[in-house]
Homo-oligomer: A and B are copies of this chain.
Amino acid sequence: MATIKDVAARAGVSQSTVHYALNGKRSISDSVRQRVIAVVAELDYSASALGQRLRQSRSYSIGMIAPQLPTWDASSMEMLMSTSATAGAAHHSMAIFVGQSADQTVQLLRNQTVDGLILIETTHNDPRIEALREGKYPFVLLGRTENLTGLTSVDFDFEQAVFVALENLVKLGHRRIGLIAPEPSTLENRYYVQRGIERAQATYDFVATSVFEGQRLNVEDGYRITEKLLTLEPNVTAIFAAGHSHVGVLRSLYSHNIRVPDDCSVIGITTAQVAEWSIPKLTSVDIPLFDMSQIATKLLLKKLAGEEICEQILAPAKLVTRESTAAPKNT
């Protein structure tokens, strides 16, 4: 591989001239520039990122820290693609790190493997956050997370999402609604889900049959809880499903030959792509994960550029009606 030295020698100029000819940060005579360009082409020269990085003490890459083994789904891809593209546009690369301990996470910054981090799926009192905060390292939280002052985060307005979802069901005419959500807690977004439910109940008149179980609801949770719900109150005309439980809800209803939305409406909170893959297509308060990730990445890049940033962004909830909701039959 040709180095800048080779180019300089071949072109009969100094290294700095080659450098500036290629980066245009100081004026270079046209003749010299032409010559340099020619030699660069001839030797197939390309500046080594390794040399640049050491010299500038910047890795020009950001890390995405993913938890151990969550339910990886299509929505995670949105985050990754969005982050990668946004970082790439700013000449940074994005690396993924799975299941790192707090120590390992900090280590990535300390040894300059990455310049900054985006943390996803963080939990309350996450040891990684505390470790990073102490070291004053640049990082941004993305997605479901506790809200701590002094931190930069991009989150989704779950409280509003839940409220909007229930409001929609009520306005369609539903009065007996099944509620599937994580058990109440003051931690993380579960708190906001409960707040949304409470606000809807205070605002509208409907009978809720609630099953609040677990912390992060997956598909099987949805199935199991729906079976339980149908025993508790077989006459629900609509079900609100938090997390990924909606897939299990739909499967349970399918096995009972309860038609959606004819016999029972289902509404959830998820990303557009996941909603489009469900059967039938799920009416949902869509989480704009792609945009959120882009915002988070841009904030991190700004931090890396030296800007002092401390912002908590809350993406708004917007309902998208698809195929899984309708007015109840006997209205």
Residues of A within 8 A of B (CB): 1, 44, 46-51, 53-54, 57, 59, 61, 63, 66, 72-74, 76-78, 80-81, 84-85, 88, 93-99, 107, 110-113, 219, 247, 250-251, 254-255, 257, 259, 273, 276-281
Contacts and interface: CB of A to CB of B under 8 A. Distances in A.
Nearest to A45: B110
Contacts of A257: 259
Nearest to A100: B88
A125 B162 CA distance: 49
Contacts of A111: 46-49
Contact of A54 (B50, B84, B97, B98): B50
Contact of A219 (B50, B59, B97, B276): B276
Contacts of A48: 111-112
A98 B77 contact: no
Contact of A50 (B53, B80, B250, B279): B53
A122 to B, nearest CB: 18
Contacts of A74: 72-74, 77
Given A96-B96, A219-B277, A250-B279, 16 more contacts: A1-B110, A46-B107, A49-B59, A50-B54, A50-B59, A61-B61, A72-B78, A73-B77, A74-B74, A84-B96, A85-B99, A94-B95, A247-B279, A254-B254, A254-B280, A277-B277
B85 A77 contact: no
Contacts of A94: 95-96
A281 B251 contact: yes
For the complex of A and B, list the 3 residue pairs with the smallest distance between their C-beta atoms, beginning with the closest. A72-B77, A93-B95, A54-B54
A240 to B, nearest CB: 18
A273 B254 CA distance: 19
Nearest to A63: B93
B110 A46 contact: yes
Nearest to A76: B77
Contacts of A251: 279-281
Given A94-B96, A279-B279, A112 B50 contact: yes
18 contacts: A46-B110, A49-B113, A50-B54, A50-B59, A51-B54, A61-B93, A74-B77, A88-B98, A95-B96, A219-B276, A219-B277, A247-B279, A251-B279, A254-B279, A254-B280, A255-B280, A257-B259, A278-B279
